[in-house]
Amino acid sequence: MTDKFLDCPLPNPPPLRKGGSTPKSRSHMPTGSLKLTIKNLAAGYGAVRALHDVSVEVRGGEIVALLGTNGNGKSTLMKCVLGLVVPTQGEIVLELDGAAIDLVGKRPQEIVGLGIALVPEGRRLFPRLTVKENLLLGAFRAAARRAVARNLELCFAAFPVLRERASQLAGSMSGGQQQMLAIARAIMSSPRLLLIDEPSVGLSPLLVHQTMDIVRNLKEEFGLTVLMAEQNFHEASRIADRGYVIVHGEIAVHGANLQELQQSELVKSYYLGA
């Protein structure tokens, strides 16, 4: 289903300076070295295996797209990184400021405490709480509690409509506005790594395009590292630095850059109509 509020487009993303970057002085997210390495990962649900020997790498400051249609394991991979699904084999290692941290076996709250935030598929907001209350719930980790006022102002600056609707119930907002709120709630946790699961679901083409612009601008403005699961190849490849295509729970294509990804015969067949 597409967004029924087609007359409510997202606000324009914060303007970029010449050369495509935003003023560095506005960046308040934590900085430092970061890399996520997923190696030979397998996972599933009972007897059903969703991931088979999956290896993915996300380096600091990148937007990496995990591309694939529904039911191919993208969301399962995200849940493994966040500790919501326990892998049956493989490694998930977060290199953070020179320290290598094994994420397998850690509880979700411990992983969030390391600075990993998830924007879940379907947004998963609290519909009977206000916009501001939803945002404040994103700031529960210790590092974020110390910066609640600052991060709240950053979110309102990036998404002015959230300031205007701060006292409105989240469930009464349009789909596009709810997607903004879901992203902003994750930003409230002062993340180092942002996982975004299917941001285009339920949105009109215009809102999908604008949502992707917002993700790119957040990366450029705040220096965020982003792993994004998405089925819209054209929009995801427009903002990503690199990408993987997952088919039936296996990495079928890895492009070291977008040009390499687009030249893949599988991508040409599945997404480009060649």
**pLDDT tens digits along 158-167:** 889 999 999 9
User: Is 82 exposed, middle or buried (CB count within 10 Å of its CB: 0-12, 13-18, 19+)?
Assistant: buried
Q: 41 in a domain, yes or no?
A: no
Taking every pair of Cα atoms in the chain, the longest distance, rounded to a whole number of angstroms, is 53
pLDDT attached to residue 136: 93
Per-residue pLDDT averaged across 80-90, rounded? 96
The residue with greater pLDDT, 263 or 17, is 263
pLDDT attached to residue 273: 54
Task: Please state which of the ranges 77-81, 159-163, 261-265 shows the lowest mean pLDDT.
Answer: 261-265
Q: 7 in a domain, yes or no?
A: no
Q: 177 in a domain, yes or no?
A: yes
CA–CA dist 63, 263 (Å, integer): 19
Q: 15 in a domain, yes or no?
A: no
- Global pTM reads 0.83
- Other Cβ atoms less than 10 A from the Cβ of 109: the count is 10
Per-residue pLDDT averaged across 129-151, rounded? 89
Domain that holds residue 142: 61-86+107-270
Q: 71 in a domain, yes or no?
A: yes
Structural contact between residues 64 and 244, judged by C-beta atoms closer than 8 angstroms: yes
Which CATH number covers residue 173? Answer: 3.40.50.300
Q: How many domains does the chain have?
A: 1
Structural contact between residues 74 and 41, judged by C-beta atoms closer than 8 angstroms: no
Task: Report DSSP state, residue 208.
Answer: H
Q: 244 in a domain, yes or no?
A: yes
Per-residue pLDDT averaged across 132-139, rounded? 92
Q: With cut-offs at 50, 70 and 90, classify the pLDDT of residue 146.
A: confident
Q: 157 in a domain, yes or no?
A: yes
User: Is 168 exposed, middle or buried (CB count within 10 Å of its CB: 0-12, 13-18, 19+)?
Assistant: middle
Q: 245 in a domain, yes or no?
A: yes
Q: What is the pLDDT of residues 194-232, one digit of tens each?
A: 999 988 888 888 888 988 998 898 888 888 899 999 988
